């Protein structure tokens, strides 16, 4: 599935959009972290919480639980929150 990457994380992926697989958002992020070491910790903290100024959308709907199941046709958008204007 397609994963849209926000600008602060593109130093890891080198691209605005990457392909990744997994049965849940958590699995997709784990795969991305294997491919791009350090990627996950910058957006998800050590308590498995999405960091305060990062948002994750699946098919345009914001999700708060990284265990959210995914299908092959789903798309993920990781965005930086418009914190501070």
Partner 1 sequence: MPARTKKATPAQRGRTKKAAAKSTSRRSKPAENLLLVATRKGAWIFRGDSGRKGWRADGPHFLGQIVNHLVLDPRDGRTMIAATSTGHLGPTMHRSSDFGRSWQEAKQPPAFAKVPEGQTGRSVKHTFWLAPGHASEPAVWYAGTSPQGLFRSEDGGNHWQPFGAINDDPQYRKWMGQEQDGTPDGPKLHSITIDPRDAKHMYLGMSGGGAHESRDGGRSWTPLAKGLEVVEGFNAADMTFHDPHCIRICPSNPDRLYQQNHCGIYRIDRPSDEWVRIGKNMPARVGDIGFNMVVHPRDDKVVWVFPMDGQTVWPRTSPEGKPCVYQTTNGGKTWKRRDSGLPENQAWWTVKRQAMTADGHDPIGLYFGTTSGDIWMSRDEGAKWTNIARHLPEIYAVEAAVRA
Q: Which residues bind partner 1 (CB under 8 A)?
A: 6, 8-9, 37-38, 41-49, 51, 53-54, 80-81, 83-84
Beta carbon of residue 62, minimum distance to partner 1 (angstroms, whole number): 16
CA 61 vs CA 51, 55, 58: distances in Å:
17, 10, 5
Residue 16: CB partners within 8 Å, gap ≥ 6? Answer: 4, 5, 10
Judged by beta carbon, residue 36 or residue 74, the one nearer partner 1 is 36
Beta carbon of residue 73, minimum distance to partner 1 (angstroms, whole number): 28
Beta carbon of residue 71, minimum distance to partner 1 (angstroms, whole number): 26
CA 57 vs CA 39, 60, 77: distances in Å:
17, 5, 5
Judged by beta carbon, residue 20 or residue 39, the one nearer partner 1 is 39
């Amino acid at each position: 599935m397609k994963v849209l990457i926000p600008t602060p994380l593109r130093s890891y992926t080198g691209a605005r959009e990457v392909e990744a697989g997994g049965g849940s958002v958590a699995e997709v992020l784990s795969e991305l972290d294997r491919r791009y070491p350090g990627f996950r910790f910058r957006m998800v903290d050590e308590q498995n919480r999405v960091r305060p100024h990062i948002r994750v959308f699946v098919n345009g709907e914001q999700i708060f639980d990284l265990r959210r199941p995914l299908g092959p046709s789903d798309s993920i958008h990781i965005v930086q929150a418009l914190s501070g204007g």
